[in-house]
A and B are shown apart, each in its own frame.
Chain A
């Protein structure tokens, strides 16, 4: 097993196999403190699976994932969250039956046990935090709306907002701007820039323009393996990357 590192996230030799099919194959990468890492790659490359592995949704067949030197591969999902990893799903995943306020409130990191949830009080601290986050995600005036009624882009924002309530050290976003209009993309890029202070972020994205706007470093995934890694420009001009991904 690997030794301790200064990295926020150290993924080493990560492999997962589904009935012999290796969706992620001997993957190694490191994420720095306060870094924005973007993962790109063609459909089915294994990007979502990597996030699944980090947050415990899928169990790794082999390899290690260390978050601040804590091994995540054997931890339960909710413990990984409590350790400080937050994750947004590819399709907006919000509670349609609850209001925007309640959606955000549920992610507030207090009263997570059964008893805690029973005696949870909606006090000033919660209310002001919800308002603060709602304003950041452009939903400040929609707090009482049923979340189901939001537009697709607003739902994406709401889910990002739910993560902000958690205030994770490592934020993982799976295609946060998919299905958004140009204007919304612009807003989201601003939003991301404003929330990445004091935390590391892993973003999966297909939109290269958007990637160029936010990325510190890009990792290109192909068939479960790393094809290239480096700055946006370096990756963009890599002939292998152009061939399997950007070319078409």
Chain B
């Protein structure tokens, strides 16, 4: 299949697809991080994760609206504020959901899965009622438009670059939080041994709530970033949810590094294959491949050893 391309053409094809893959990777990482925190640390599957993300996207959309109407002078920086607001909104909703629903279901992971699916339906319909069924998009400030010409045949879209940086920054922040802060230590203690962590005075209920809210908050930021490369509709959240779950499970549920590594391999595989076959087939093959590997190695790429 490579015969018809010259080697330099091939190189730039791979480079371009690599860049497309990197953007997909950034989206995966942003979505998967929040999910991984929640699933890895609490064993809870949050089926409404995509809807938390969309909440962030809608918040961003509203902010851009407000800025362009009332504060056009500051429009070029609205994005920063939008992300903060997206985080706050999603985290607040997350905390509420944890309090009302999740905490009653901790020892019933399968039921949590069903309940959060119900929540996702309700949120979808809410978005549809409030924002209408059509997809909405935000106007990007000028400095995010256009692309950067790397070589003659390779160009990098600026918004894509921005999303990549964002993914990188947030991953670093989460890593610092988990492995350097006192709160991170507490979370990891709860993961390793919940009753013991409780016994040494860690308020496990509070740790859970904050973890859940944080995971949702990151989803909100992901949604905010998402508006830069695509438009948002009430059901956009469901589009990526299966991929994201696979990313998390494939990475080995309780390892941030694993999540990032698996997001990278899945997105690169998918976007590289996309050049040689239809988008749907490359997605099928990627997912199938991941499922097969998971059947051979169910614990995922990276694991945490805990006594059974």
Please list the residues of chain A having a beta carbon within 8 angstroms of any beta carbon in chain B.
Answer: 18-19
B206 within 8 A of A: no
3 closest Cβ pairs, A-B complex: A19-B305, A18-B305, A18-B307
Q: Which residue of A lies closest to B308 (CB)?
A: A57
| B interface residue numbers (CB < 8 A to A) | 305, 307
Q: List 3 A-B contacts (CB under 8 A).
A: A18-B305, A18-B307, A19-B305
Which residues of B have CB within 8 Å of A19? 305
Residues in chain B near residue A18, CB distance under 8 A: 305, 307
Q: Determine the residue in chain B with the shortest Cβ distance to A23.
A: B307
Bound together, the chains give a CA A195 to CA B305 distance in angstroms of 38
Bound Cα distance A18, B307 (Å): 9
**How near does chain A come to B68, taking the closest CB pair, in angstroms?**
56
The smallest beta-carbon distance between A173 and chain B, in angstroms, is: 20
Name the A residues within 8 Å of B305 (CB-CB).
18-19
Please indicate the chain A residues that have their CB under 8 angstroms from the CB of B307 in the complex.
18
Count of inter-chain pairs, beta carbons less than 8 A: 3
Docked complex Cα distance between A19 and B305 (Å): 8
> In the complex, what's the smallest C-beta–C-beta distance from B308 to chain A, in angstroms?
8
**Assembly CA distance A18 to B308 (angstroms):** 12
CB distance from B196 to the nearest CB of A (A): 14
Bound Cα distance from A221 to B252, whole angstroms: 35
B302 shortest CB reach to chain A, Å? 14
Q: What's the Cα separation between A18 and B305 when bound, in Å?
A: 9
Please give me the residue from chain B that is nearest to A58 by CB atom.
B308
What's the Cα separation between A234 and B307 when bound, in Å? 35
B107 → chain A closest CB, angstroms: 15
Distance in angstroms from A116 CB to nearest chain B CB is 28
B137–chain A nearest beta-carbon distance, Å: 50
Complex CA gap A60/B15 in Å reads 48
**CB-nearest residue of chain B to A57:** B308
Give Cα distance in the complex from A19 to B304, angstroms: 11
Cα–Cα distance between A19 and B307 once the two chains are bound (Å): 12
Task: Give Cα A18 to B306, complex, Å.
Answer: 10
Q: How far is the CA of A19 from the CA of B306 in the complex (A)?
A: 11
Q: How far is the CB of B20 from chain A (nearest CB, A)?
A: 39
Bound form: Cα–Cα A129–B307 in Å: 36
Query: Closest approach, in angstroms, between the C-beta of A90 and any C-beta of chain B?
Result: 12
Bound Cα distance from A18 to B304, whole angstroms: 12
- Distance in angstroms from B55 CB to nearest chain A CB is 41
Closest to B305 in A: A19
Whole-angstrom distance between the Cβ of A91 and the nearest chain B Cβ: 13
CB distance from A70 to the nearest CB of B (A): 25
Q: Which residue of B lies closest to A49 (CB)?
A: B307
B256 to chain A, nearest CB (A): 19
